Amino acid sequence: MTEEIEVIYEKLLYFYEQRKFADLRMLLLDMEPADIAQFMEDNFDEKDLLVFFRLLPKELASDVFVETDTDTQETLIKAFTDKELKAVIDDMFLDDTVDIIEEMPANVIKRILQSATPSDRKQINELLSYPDDSAGSLMTTEFISFPASITVEKAFEKIRKTGLNKEIIYTCYVTDSRKKLIGVVTVKDMLLADKEDIIENIMSTAVITAETLEDKEEVVQKFSKYDFIALPVVDKEGCLVGIVTVDDAVDVMEEEATEDIQKMAAILPTEKPYLKQSIFSIWVARVPWLILLLITSTFTSMILSHFESQLTPVLYAFVPMLMGTAGNAGGQSSVTVIRAIAVGDVEFKDIFKVILKELGASALLGLTVGVVCFAKIMLLDNLYNPITLNEAGIISFVCFISVVMAKLVGCILPLFAKAVKLDPAVVASPLMTTIVDALSLIIYCTISIAILV
């Protein structure tokens, strides 16, 4: 597939450079907007971008525009005539317009808003007023709704009349005279029903909804749980104000997973694809945690300095192994719990179940690791660094203790973070390392010195 696309891209470029615009258009007509957008980003600078964009078949133009990245969009908007901008904006779905506006500088936003029709402008401003992470910011206001009293035939008429500009027409919403959401009916239900059936009799009243201010992570969980292609969004009075469509939910799901992965790796979340990030923005995302963790490592240096005169070289040599094992063990637990929270498998009320499970698993793991550690020390490390049975025993025992300690810290931290409404991924992962490093070192030094020295 990827190769096919490469071939098409080469043809496009050839047609463009040879000014064979009729061939170019023919080829474009058979392409997906996302692929055309990628082609433009990869091949054109400012001037050619606009020339190429003007060659796009009318019906594709705004779809392609939506799929290009923020920089390209900004370049294009600045180059558009007022008429061109208006054509693109009019053709776009409102939620896409809002997404674009959220990324643009003020002067560009002004131009976009001026191009929109007054009624669109009103809806855009409404959508813009919702917090960034809410269902409201994710939804579109372009959905199909009708009263419960009409027939299936009338409903189809309404869909035919207004459906062209709606993102999802397959799920229709039934509202009362005050716009309160009272039911849902799918086009499938309608197709399988009789023309004369009344909507009220075929609609489903068991409607799962999201509230405008609901966190978008929860919204996405509903899609993965209930297999919807659209989810209605209601205000506090239960009135239907918009819908979230599955394609936006899919994007959010991917973004949220990426964000969680970044946070666990001590990176500030970024939205741009890696190759589009500037070196400076990579620096900005990575430097805070690197510096913070550097400074908290003062604890380990302090602890080592404190015990310096008493630790034997043999004991010193196993410090990295011990801290590494504890860090790995803790990381396994914290990451497991953070992900379980993110996908909705675990909540704070499960804390005792989680602790019990981790206690059991860590005892088993600590035991295995301890035994293997003992064998490894006697069989492997002993070869280059003579060690007594006593020393090996102590080191392995501390290994066992550290694994259990690290796993408990690792599972409890994210749950507490969640309980006090902090982000489990941010708080737990890097903080966990610092705590586990310091604790395992203290345990090691205290126990080994007390017994051996």
Is beta strand 181-186 parallel, antiparallel or unpaired with respect to 240-245? unpaired
Closest to a copy of itself by CB, 85 or 373: 373
| Sole residue written with tokens 């003992």 | 374
Q: Which stretch binds a copy of itself (CB under 8 A): 41-49, 130-138, 201-209, 416-424?
A: 201-209
88-117 binders of a copy of itself (CB under 8 A): none
289-318 binders of a copy of itself (CB under 8 A): 289-291, 293-295, 297-298, 300-302, 304-306, 308-309, 313, 316-318
Listed in order, strand segments (DSSP E) in 71-203 are: 145-146, 171-175, 181-186
Q: Which stretch binds a copy of itself (CB under 8 A): 15-23, 129-137, 320-328, 414-422?
A: 320-328
In which order are the strands placed within the sheet that holds 240-245? 210-211, 230-234, 240-245
Is 213 a residue that touches a copy of itself (CB under 8 A)? Answer: no
10-69 binders of a copy of itself (CB under 8 A): 29-32, 34
- DSSP category for residue 168: -
Q: How buried is 447 (Cβ within 10 angstroms: 0-12 exposed, 13-18 middle, 19+ buried)?
A: middle
| Contact (CB, 8 A) for 94 and 120 | yes
Closest to a copy of itself by CB, 113 or 213: 213
Instruction: Candidates 79, 113, 246, 452: give the one binding a copy of itself (CB under 8 A).
Output: 246
Residue 374 one-letter amino acid: F
Q: How far is the CB of 115 from a copy of itself (least distance, A)?
A: 24
Q: How far is the CB of 150 from a copy of itself (least distance, A)?
A: 16
Q: Which stretch binds a copy of itself (CB under 8 A): 42-50, 73-81, 273-281, 442-450?
A: 273-281
The rounded distance, in Å, linking the Cα atoms of 322 and 66 is 52
Closest to a copy of itself by CB, 122 or 225: 225
Helix (H) or strand (E) holding 232: strand 230-234
Instruction: Candidates 99, 120, 260, 391: give the one binding a copy of itself (CB under 8 A).
Output: 260
Instruction: Candidates 23, 74, 277, 442: give the one binding a copy of itself (CB under 8 A).
Output: 277
Closest CA to 300 of 132, 106, 438: 438
Instruction: Candidates 206, 352, 420, 421: give the one binding a copy of itself (CB under 8 A).
Output: 206
**Overall size of the chain counted in residues:** 453
The rounded distance, in Å, linking the Cα atoms of 14 and 152 is 51
Q: How far is the CB of 420 from a copy of itself (least distance, A)?
A: 18
Instruction: Candidates 364, 419, 450, 451: give the one binding a copy of itself (CB under 8 A).
Output: 364
Contacts of 319 (CB under 8 A, 6+ apart): 304, 441, 444
